[in-house]
Amino acid sequence: MNRKNRKYQYADLKVYVLGNPYFEEHLHRRRYAHHFTILLVAYGIIRLQVNEEVQLITAKTLLVIPSKNFYSIVGMEAQGLVYIVSFPLGFAFKNNIKRPQMRLFGFLMMSFSKEVVLTHKEAALLSNLIGLLVLGMQKPDTTLFKERIIGFKFNVLLYELIGIYYNQDPHFRIRATKKAQLVIRFFDLLSKHFKKQHGVRFYATHLTVTPEHLSKTLKQITGKTSKQHINGFIIEEATFLLQNNLTIKNICKRLHFGTPRSFGRFFKRQTAVSPLAYRRKMTSI
């Protein structure tokens, strides 16, 4: 990968590759981490300020900076290469909501920065995974399955990173907040009942909260309301079923819509195309 400073972006996911001799232009830029930030020093030494604390980050060191923190690279002690991956929590949850994991949610929602010194093998692995992610982000928008390619590569990076933290410190534990627990329980319920239960009230009742509180919490943490997540699950299942030989009537029954017409209206409202048009599009690829 080119060692010049580079910024890559796909949707809300951003990747910065900072290397000599072009590193200086990024010094002293104070950034507010609206998003969850992963910083990897592949080689070299940098001085990094997180909020009011300045720390020396050496080669093969990984640092996560939770959202709502200020950070700035204030100096460089040796020539180096730094990767920064930044994303909102909603982007991570979008790719991991089918079977939410307590450790994943807890890790992404921690409130303090955490530094880990990597082995050579771990540093090389994460550098390569970030490189593969960038290659996916650089693909033309017309690339078939580009969104899923990026999503899969992002997930591999995220799970490898979390695994490194827990493997290096078996006692590393983050207690999930009540809000995080509510989100996890919601997605667990949703993954079991979304085909039959399309309304927010069903999930709120089972979680003993009001529909308004549930939607507000989900919006705050994941960037989407409960209804948006319910619709997303249904559409994902519908698009999968439409790629099989099932009739629209059978798909309608499986997803518990009253009539094919009501299913068609719902599908078009969510995707801007009818179920049949979507099926024709997929069979023509």
Averaged in consecutive runs of 10 residues, what is the pLDDT profile of the chain (285 residues)? 72 86 57 78 90 90 86 80 88 65 68 84 97 95 86 92 83 70 87 95 98 94 89 92 94 97 97 94 78
| Cα separation, 174 vs 215, whole angstroms | 24
* In contact, 110 and 102? CB cutoff 8 Å: no
* In contact, 207 and 186? CB cutoff 8 Å: yes
Identity (one letter) of the amino acid at 213?
H
Q: Is the dihedral of CA 256, 261, 262, 266 positive or negative?
A: positive
pLDDT score at 2? 47
For the stretch 202-211, pLDDT in tens is: 999 999 999 9
| Cα separation, 128 vs 157, whole angstroms | 9
Note the pTM of the prediction, 2 decimals.
Answer: 0.74
* In contact, 86 and 57? CB cutoff 8 Å: no
- Domains of the chain plus CATH, in order, are 6-168 (2.60.120.280), 178-283 (1.10.10.60)
Q: Of 139, 242, 106, 243, give the one whose Cα is nearest residue 252.
A: 242
Beta bridge partners of 49: 54, 72
For the stretch 3-12, pLDDT in tens is: 556 889 998 8
Q: Of 168, 239, 235, 139, give the one whose Cα is nearest residue 195.
A: 235
